[in-house]
Structure 1
Amino acid sequence: MSKKFWRITGLVIVALVLVGGATAYHERHNIRRYLLVNQHYTKKDILSTNQIKLNIRPALSTKNTTATNKLTSGYQKQLKALPTGVSHAKTIVNPYKTSPLSGLILVKTAKATRVELTVHGNTKATTIHQRIKGYRTNHSVGVLGLYANRNNRVTLKFTTKSGQVTKHNYRLQTTKAPKGIGKNTLKTSHPKKMALGKGNTKLTFAVSSQGYTYGMDARGKVRWYSNLPISHVFKQLANNHLLILTKISASDAKSNALRETDFYGRVYRQYNMNGLFPTKQNKHKLADNTVIHHDAIELPNHNFLLTVDDGSQDFVEDTMIEIDRQTGKIKKVIDLKRILPKSAYNNYNGTHRSDGKTDWFHQNSMVYDKKTNELIVSGRNQDMIFAINYKTKKLKWILAAPEKLPKSYRKYLLTPKNKNFRYNGGQHAVMFLDPNKNQGNKLKLQFYDNNVPVTRGKTKQSKQWSAGEIVTINQLNRTVKKTWEFGQSLGKRNFTNIVGSSYAVGKGNTLIGFGYADSGKRSEFVEVNRKTNKVVFDVDRTNFPHGDWSYRGQRMTLYPQSAQLKLSQIK
């Protein structure tokens, strides 16, 4: 037979495969759409676990990982090609394209040297120092903490094993910071009393609700920001990477990409979520939806536990999923409607959403206790913090006022030990004060009390202020004692109806984020000493776009590890 015959036959086969593949794809798409519209419930209002998994369907994405690995490979080649000598170094600003105040210095030395990095600041307390571990001849020095719109001076000190020292200054020119960050006005700063970390590497991070997340130094100047839109989740992981929630594509309306990255913007993993759920008005109409909404934590097995919308036609923000770190597949589903009373979601009318769905719980944070295998959960719209056994999902205790709670659940309530105990209302950011000091049945919790009763606990003090608080809980006796709070003295000016955080940051200090002050026109970050109740740092943030109030205030170090980027280790 002729070559022409085989060529035509081959083209026909390819065409048939393509047509068959396209047909199969459309069939799978139609089946999935049918299953999303015709949801499977095990009980009234409660979706089956398999339905929730189908609705969310996390998937690993390698697009951005591949792109940053390609950049890393390019920097490897540039370092290899450089002549030896500190004056022949190559400087790169924003090496991974999403962290404009970061840099990379590639340099070779004739002898193996240790490197010390100095990013010069406006003051002694804002000058950042970092020592890089190990001696080497090829150096890839990561630079963090640059100022925006400045030709930054960075000094590298090279020391040989014999003690010979060489210093060299480098310049890294940065661009203007985006207007969306807004205006940061420094009100108070006592650097010697602040928890700034060794080498002043710790910044105060304003974690965005739906815009720019950035870090400030002790003078309130921006020293790091991401040009990615970050929503709510900005966490440091056990491997010192960052976990952020961003958009799959810049044009997307929703944030449905959970990304493992770092302060330079290098991408290690990304999980894309499918947020196509039926609407309240018409279950046959599917609409884009935010899947992960407020929080994500790393479990001891290094999987991620996420607060999610489960795809229900009626309810939102009342479900958690554990996803496998390596594959992105859902390993566990926790539906809070299976744990809390039916009356809580069936009779809820505390808040209303424009899409008609019921946000009866509004989970905004969680923390896992590896000593007891317990998960502690905060729900704004029930004014409630509670603990469950993570394996069995059985309730252990509830911290909330008893109003509107069925008698069968009141046995779980914690009994206050303080006189005139004021219950939390609309609280956020529950966290252990010091997990290493928890003693089995006794634990100390810190959280931000908005002091806005949505469902229960209304008093004359409600909505008069918001506060950072610490309580001690005896799980065996089911008692609670409030041991510290700060915010009442700031009054209504710092009352925040929504968002907020309160975290211990070291030196006996707590950083409180009043994210929604002045009805969302202002965010304020206050570091206060818990022993004296004296404010040691205070910054007001204003002039930011509506909706981009700071969800949390966090103190984090720019250099959780060495400043060496280790270009040889592409992950």
Structure 2
Amino acid sequence: MTEAIKYTYKEHLVERQAKAEKAMLKEFNEGDYTLEQPLIKYNPYLLNALSAVILFRTEEPTAITVRVKGKTEKADFYQSFPRGTEHIIPIVGLYSDYENKIEVYPWQKYDQKVTHTIKTPETNGAKLVENMDTTPEYMQDNVIFLCPAISDLAIAVDYAGDVRLDFTEAMVWDIKRLPNGNLLMGSERLMRMPYFVSGIYELSAVGKVYREYRVPHGYHHDQISLPNGDIVALNCNLPEGTVEDMAVVIDKDTGHVKKTFNFADFIKPGS
């Protein structure tokens, strides 16, 4: 039995992302990339297998609009980005095993659009959805996330049931969207069986992790963002040998625990 569970070192996702981003930006800075001939990097942050980044420069400050073409017009995704001369554009909503068409053009100048193709491989979660019963009018350009509890991989689907986001790491538990558009989701770093993980990531849809909030004694199941941005996360009381019976308030800026709630202080066992 002592051989059943082994410790395996794995470089932290944040460190791997930093190296990948540094290499991408180095390639961009050493090249002469334009709207017509940009640098395109597939899954640059190693986390969302249905994402990419398009990088280019314009001579004049220009706002940019991107249209990820869907398999139907109602499955198109649009996003616009602020004026600038250096453009690093996240692309999300690609399809698995598909020649994705991406239209890029100066804001409100669709007649100047340039279409790029991103060919994706077949991703792990692409065929998980068997049925989807909704309408594009209801869903609009939103997606539904399907998040695992232990070791499976999260996906997000559009109104047609097509997978448009496919994580490559076992990000777990509940997902929340922050006011800045980023997501809060449990990390892939298992610290205790069966499903207690090291904490929570703040990440963008393209897969870039911006913050890691480490939760003492293991995060599980759920978290919320308070009006001031601080995070309340469920955790455990491992020093006392119990689980799923505590919560902590985490400072959004420092990651420090500001307050701890022990459920045993106000809920009597058996009552």
| TM-score, normalised with respect to structure 1 | 0.42
Correspondence list, 1:167-316, <5 A? 167-178=113-124, 183-192=128-137, 194-196=138-140, 200=141, 202-210=142-150, 211-248=152-189, 254=195, 255-273=197-215, 275=217, 291-311=218-238, 313=240, 315-316=242-243
SS at match of 2:161: coil
- State the alpha-carbon separation in 1 of the partners of residues 239 and 123 from structure 2: 40
Pairwise CA distance, 1:159: 4.9
The number of residue pairs the alignment matches comes to 259
Cα RMSD for the two superposed structures: 2.8
Question: Which letter does structure 2 place at the counterpart of 1:177?
Answer: T
Partner of 1:110: 59
Find out whether 1:157 has 2:105 as its counterpart.
yes
What residue identity is the alignment partner of 1:184? Answer: V
The Cα offsets for residues 135-173 of structure 1, whole Å up to 9 and x where unpaired, read as x2221111100001112111111259xx69522111112
What's the CA shift for 1:338? 1.6
| Bigger radius of gyration among the two | 1
Going from structure 1 to structure 2, the CA distance change for 1:187 and 1:73 (only over 3 Å counts) comes to: closer
Q: CA deviation at 1:229?
A: 0.6
- Contact persistence 1:258–1:270 (CA under 8 A): yes
For each residue in 1:220-250, what CA deviation from the matched residue of structure 2 results, as whole angstroms up to 9, or x when unmatched? 0000021111221322223322211123279
Matching residue of 1:26: none
Aligned pairs (5 A) from 1:18-417: 63-83=12-32, 85-134=34-83, 136-159=84-107, 165-178=111-124, 183-192=128-137, 194-196=138-140, 200=141, 202-210=142-150, 211-248=152-189, 254=195, 255-273=197-215, 275=217, 291-311=218-238, 313=240, 315-340=242-267, 342=268, 345=269, 347=270
Q: Percent identity?
A: 22
Q: CA deviation at 1:214?
A: 0.9
Q: 1:172 to 1:251 in 2, by over 3 A?
A: farther
**What is the SS of the residue equivalent to 2:129?**
strand
Decide whether the 8 Å contact of 1:92 with 1:172 is kept in 2. Answer: no
Distance 2:261 2:165 in 1: 36
CA pair 108-191 structure 1, distance change in 2 beyond 3 A: same
**5+ residue gaps in structure 2?**
1-10
Structure 1 runs not aligned, ≥5 long:
1-61, 276-290, 348-404, 406-571
Contact 1:84 1:110 in 2 (8 A): no
Say which SS state the counterpart of residue 125 (structure 1) adopts.
helix
If the length of structure 2 is used for normalisation, what is the TM-score?
0.84
Shift of 1:66: 4.3
User: What is the Cα deviation at residue 252 of structure 1?
Assistant: 8.2
Would you say the 8 A contact 1:82–1:108 is kept in 2? no
| 2:114 alignment partner AA | H
Q: CA separation of 1:187/1:266 partners in 2, compared to 1, >3 Å: closer, same or farther?
A: closer
C-alpha distance in structure 1 between counterparts of 2:105 and 2:132, whole Å: 35
